[in-house]
Structure 1
Amino acid sequence: MSTQERAVAVARRLLIDGQLVETGRTLASLDPATGEVYGYAPEAGVAEVDAAVAAARRAFDTTDWATDAKFRAHCLNQLYQALRDNVEDLRELTMSEVGATRALTHGNQLESPFEIVRYYAGLIEGYEWSEDLGAVEVRGQQHRRWVEKEAAGVVAAISAYNYPHQLALAKLAPSLAAGCTVVLKGAPDTPLATLAIGEIIANHTDIPAGVVNVLTSSDIEVGKRMTTHPDVDVVTFTGSTPVGRQIMAAASATLKKVFLELGGKSAMVLLDDADYNQAATFAAFSVATHAGQGCALTTRILVPRQDHDKVAQLIAANLGHVRHGDPRDPKTYMGPLISERQREKVDGMVQRAVQAGATLVTGGAKLDPGFFYAPTLLANVDPDSEIAQEEVFGPVLALIPYTDDDDAVRIANNSIYGLSGGVFGADAERAKAVARRIRTGTMSINGGNYFHPDVPFGGYKQSGIGREMGRAGLEEFLELKTLAEVVQ
């Protein structure tokens, strides 16, 4: 099949007010493993945002979507089944557009996020939407008080390119479960993945027109309109911290509820009693997962000063075993970066780190064809340097020596971010004690995996506001209404 024929085969449409629509303008999507055009998506503009928000507002205000939890659970279960029924088409799309490896599509890139939908369908079936606070006497009368939890309203959801299905469903599922209506905008680098979810909703579920609207656009004005529109009640965004700051500022004009999942520069602390072989393997293969394009990856590796060189050799040896290449090949472990723009950014940061005094142990090179970058280890890194402070979003590790536990905690907390982290140590109580001192939203101890639909995910400091997934993720999309009545 030629590139042009394949592009036509994967063309998608926007979802606005229950209709799949074109705009007459197109956005090209590249296959990052080859650099060639893979498909085309309609380019939304401000007019499409206004139409989508109007549909979402109407669906929220004039239907019983927000008040019929049983029907919402039914629709979420339909969506879960439809995603499962279309998994192979979605898998091909995800490998080709996102650059995700086949193995990853069986996990967090595709199939695992389906479980978020099923989780929220089950959660709301037994959820307590009202809390009785009992009665109190005021001026000789009894007053019964209670709190009701109700949908926050119209949600503007903006997601990033790195895990498009995970990010879209982690916003859609809880907001729909809560009774909100949604305008979802996918990232311009991976538009087809997000639009595919919209088409599945339109074709295979009973979700009413206007409840879910799906847009894609590279126009900055689209995002601005979504975050400032007077009929939008909640803004949820996943992406970089600089963009998150802009969104928070834009939404402040109308005091919208803002929920942000932003960047990270997470630290992994190797205590002096750690199994260095286990930790080095974990560090190397973790940062190579999806070519390092993960906000929660541990990219700062803190090691006892006396063992710095030993650990550097172990990590470098493991990085050498990372197999990169065609994401469709089951033997491929690491796929490409999303774009040449991102590869240039990663390479620029690595080269500046070396110029600033870091030691390039392995990697530090572009790999062709496509947008691949060699798994990279920088050693003897200054904890205050750019490479130790700024998010790279590529397969790059910074090895930083420390003197004792207090110094390790200080370095780990020396960041504007606080999304994730890890500790390796033979003494479990000591490892947990160190983990508790690090100001971050999630922590892994000796490789423990916290990521699951029932677990709240989010960060401290400039890694974001609020939590996704779990019961907390549902409650981000709820408002509390306190009521009281006089009782005889």
Structure 2
Amino acid sequence: MVTLPEGKLYIDGKLRSAAGGKTYDNIGPWTGEVIGQAADASADDVNEAIAAARRAFDNTDWSTNRAMRYELMKKYRDLLYANREKLVHIARHEVGSAIGAAFRAQIDGALSGADRLIECFDQVHWEEDLGIRNENGYDTKRLVIHEAVGVVGAITPWNVPLYVNVGKVVAALLAGCTVILKPAPDTPLMGAIMGELAAEAGFPAGVFNVVTSGHAAMAGEMLTTDPRVDLISFTGSTAVGKLIMQNGASTLKRVFLELGGKSAFIVLEDAPNFPMTVMGSMVVFHAGQGCAYPTRLLVPKSRYDEAVKALEMAYAGFSTKWGLFDEPTCIMGPVISKRQLDRVMSYVEIGQKEGARLLAGGKVRPDKGGGFFVEPTCFVDVRNDMRIAQEEIFGPVLVVIPYEDEADAIRIANDSVYGLGGAVFGPTESAVRVCRAIRAGALSVNGGVSITGDLPFGGYKQSGMGREWGREGIEEFLETKAIGIRAS
């Protein structure tokens, strides 16, 4: 049995246990067994982390010493790279990532993202001289200053924890903020190791803090309601995002939310390699646990039967290629937890009751091991008003919806409370035209990559507000100040 290192808190520059030495079990998705222990922070621990971050922002030059921040974040980035194998090990055992996914989105995507954020640092306009203008009969020299917001509470999910941790923490620290990272209870070690590497890098005390907790809400509620915290950056479900907005209202916190999605994968009627493109829509990478993952396949009615046959072949061919822990090409393992498995299976039941046809999968697979295995699943004959087409399942479930023409495809794609991602396949001019009409924040044409560390990422509608990654991701953590200097 694999045992991961015990995750520690990182507060005010020190790695330490939680108050009273309290820990909680870290459960491995492949086995359903305990694979380690994580520090279980108390309310007092969280309070200490907030106080430390507040002191570091108010009483040190962290927010103003850009050269020092830049050099330290490059050192931190280098430590992440130096620990790549350890990070992959954690992603495999704690996150439940198959090897093919662990080396891609889970770890290398995060490391590349850190590179891109550091590259974007020079693109930030910290000060702008707007020249002299005569107002009220005299000249005024005008400056616009961009400076750090203050203390940031970063609340992150379990699906790609290092990637999201890096996106928030590195951007906020580059901006000059101080940070309290609160990882998801299911993936504490991927947060704790960020504290360990910060200690190794020599971060000033209080600039960065990590608090892990087995309690689903306690630490997050403290961060979202405490007046000493200036900004909350949250990635997770839309339902929790709404609660965070409510909690932050009493102190008028700035809130940045990256929330759920029900993205469309649109194959146009004249798309080249139509069958292969349809086959590529299977929701299998990391068991479909991705917020921007296109999980609604839209195909033209004129080629619907062809699409269904292609999917039958694709799912049949994939049936022995998932849930393999030691296979380097495997990209699908278990879902994160028993709770998530039950959620996915509840939607399989809902889809059947709604009248959709189960083309493939739909079963729990205990023969794969003691963990949380759900078959790659596909529903056809789906209407867009069905719950399985409207609600985020966050598992390996694809729903297939026919459309009449291009305008109908756009209508169906936009008929959702979400607007996070999407993909369109077809002649480039047509596909770009469709993308321009879709209300979503990150769209791919013919497989083009629309989510990278130097591109802004975020959603429309109930998929959130604000942008992560790229120059815009750093600027999310800045305030804007105007200064007028009388010149005559």
- TM-score for both structures, normalised by structure 2: 0.96
**Deviations 1:2-59, CA, capped at 9 Å, x for gaps:** x4xx43x511201000111112221211111111111110111221111000000000
Measured after TM superposition, the shift of residue 157 of structure 1 is 0.4
Question: For residue 279 of structure 1, what is the amino acid of its counterpart?
Answer: T
**More divergent stretch after superposition (311-320 vs 16-25):** 311-320
Are the counterparts in 2 of residues 33 and 326 from structure 1 also a CA contact under 8 Å? no
Distance in 2 (CA, whole Å) between partners of 1:98 and 1:327 is 12
Distance in 1 (CA, whole Å) between partners of 2:137 and 2:446 is 60
Does 1:17 find its partner at 2:12?
A: yes
Residue in structure 2 matched with residue 325 of structure 1 by the alignment:
323
Distance in 2 (CA, whole Å) between partners of 1:119 and 1:185 is 23
Residue in structure 1 matched with residue 415 of structure 2 by the alignment:
414
Are the counterparts in 2 of residues 73 and 122 from structure 1 also a CA contact under 8 Å? no
> Percentage identity across aligned positions?
44
Distance in 2 (CA, whole Å) between partners of 1:321 and 1:25 is 47
Measured after TM superposition, the shift of residue 125 of structure 1 is 4.0
Query: 3-state SS of the aligned residue for 1:90?
Result: helix
Question: For residue 38 of structure 2, what is the amino acid of its counterpart?
Answer: A
Are the counterparts in 2 of residues 227 and 250 from structure 1 also a CA contact under 8 Å? yes
Question: For residue 397 of structure 2, what is the amino acid of its counterpart?
Answer: V
* Residues 219-234 of structure 1: pairs in structure 2 closer than 5 A: 219=215, 220-234=217-231
Residue in structure 2 matched with residue 157 of structure 1 by the alignment:
154
Distance in 2 (CA, whole Å) between partners of 1:228 and 1:55 is 17
Does 1:403 find its partner at 2:379?
A: no
Residue in structure 1 matched with residue 43 of structure 2 by the alignment:
46
Distance in 2 (CA, whole Å) between partners of 1:464 and 1:406 is 26
**Deviations 1:450-483, CA, capped at 9 Å, x for gaps:** 1211100110000000000011101100000000
Residue in structure 1 matched with residue 437 of structure 2 by the alignment:
437
Distance in 2 (CA, whole Å) between partners of 1:20 and 1:180 is 21
Distance in 2 (CA, whole Å) between partners of 1:319 and 1:333 is 14
Distance in 2 (CA, whole Å) between partners of 1:270 and 1:123 is 34
**Deviations 1:240-267, CA, capped at 9 Å, x for gaps:** 0000000011101100000000000001
Residue in structure 2 matched with residue 111 of structure 1 by the alignment:
108
Query: 3-state SS of the aligned residue for 1:366?
Result: coil
Question: For residue 454 of structure 2, what is the amino acid of its counterpart?
Answer: D
* Residues 65-464 of structure 1: pairs in structure 2 closer than 5 A: 65-125=62-122, 127-203=124-200, 205-219=201-215, 220-274=217-271, 275-284=273-282, 287-322=283-318, 323-368=321-366, 369=369, 370-425=371-426, 427-464=427-464
Distance in 1 (CA, whole Å) between partners of 2:234 and 2:202 is 26
Question: For residue 101 of structure 1, what is the amino acid of its counterpart?
Answer: A
Measured after TM superposition, the shift of residue 430 of structure 1 is 1.4
Question: For residue 16 of structure 2, what is the amino acid of its counterpart?
Answer: V
Query: 3-state SS of the aligned residue for 2:333?
Result: coil
**Deviations 1:238-293, CA, capped at 9 Å, x for gaps:** 00000000001110110000000000000111111113223223201xx2010000
**Deviations 1:84-130, CA, capped at 9 Å, x for gaps:** 11111111111011111222222210122112222233332464310
Distance in 2 (CA, whole Å) between partners of 1:319 and 1:18 is 50
Does 1:472 find its partner at 2:467?
A: no
Measured after TM superposition, the shift of residue 326 of structure 1 is 3.5
Distance in 2 (CA, whole Å) between partners of 1:248 and 1:200 is 31
Q: Runs of 5+ in structure 2 lacking a partner?
A: none
Distance in 2 (CA, whole Å) between partners of 1:206 and 1:116 is 22
Distance in 2 (CA, whole Å) between partners of 1:51 and 1:341 is 31
Are the counterparts in 2 of residues 65 and 179 from structure 1 also a CA contact under 8 Å? yes
Distance in 1 (CA, whole Å) between partners of 2:340 and 2:470 is 32
Query: 3-state SS of the aligned residue for 1:209?
Result: coil
Distance in 1 (CA, whole Å) between partners of 2:433 and 2:373 is 39
Are the counterparts in 2 of residues 235 and 256 from structure 1 also a CA contact under 8 Å? yes
| 4+ long deviations beyond 6 Å | none
Distance in 2 (CA, whole Å) between partners of 1:189 and 1:309 is 41
Distance in 1 (CA, whole Å) between partners of 2:122 and 2:436 is 34
Query: 3-state SS of the aligned residue for 2:324?
Result: coil
Are the counterparts in 1 of residues 262 and 391 from structure 2 also a CA contact under 8 Å? yes
Are the counterparts in 1 of residues 276 and 310 from structure 2 also a CA contact under 8 Å? no
Are the counterparts in 1 of residues 267 and 278 from structure 2 also a CA contact under 8 Å? no
- TM-score for both structures, normalised by structure 1: 0.96
CA-based RMSD:
1.3
Query: 3-state SS of the aligned residue for 2:402?
Result: strand
Are the counterparts in 2 of residues 13 and 42 from structure 1 also a CA contact under 8 Å? yes
Are the counterparts in 1 of residues 127 and 143 from structure 2 also a CA contact under 8 Å? yes
Are the counterparts in 1 of residues 364 and 375 from structure 2 also a CA contact under 8 Å? yes
Distance in 2 (CA, whole Å) between partners of 1:469 and 1:160 is 16
Distance in 1 (CA, whole Å) between partners of 2:473 and 2:149 is 13
Structure-2 change in CA distance of 1:10 and 1:328 (3 Å)? farther
Distance in 2 (CA, whole Å) between partners of 1:144 and 1:43 is 53
- Number of corresponding residues: 479
Query: 3-state SS of the aligned residue for 2:165?
Result: helix
**Deviations 1:365-387, CA, capped at 9 Å, x for gaps:** 11122111111110001110100
Query: 3-state SS of the aligned residue for 1:254?
Result: coil
Query: 3-state SS of the aligned residue for 1:216?
Result: coil
Distance in 2 (CA, whole Å) between partners of 1:331 and 1:73 is 37
Question: For residue 420 of structure 1, what is the amino acid of its counterpart?
Answer: G
Question: For residue 359 of structure 2, what is the amino acid of its counterpart?
Answer: V
Distance in 2 (CA, whole Å) between partners of 1:192 and 1:249 is 29
Are the counterparts in 2 of residues 376 and 397 from structure 1 also a CA contact under 8 Å? yes
Structure-2 change in CA distance of 1:97 and 1:166 (3 Å)? same
Are the counterparts in 1 of residues 120 and 470 from structure 2 also a CA contact under 8 Å? no
Structure-2 change in CA distance of 1:355 and 1:142 (3 Å)? same
Counterpart of 1:33 (choices 10, 30, 35) is 30
Question: For residue 480 of structure 1, what is the amino acid of its counterpart?
Answer: T
Query: 3-state SS of the aligned residue for 2:172?
Result: helix
Measured after TM superposition, the shift of residue 163 of structure 1 is 0.1
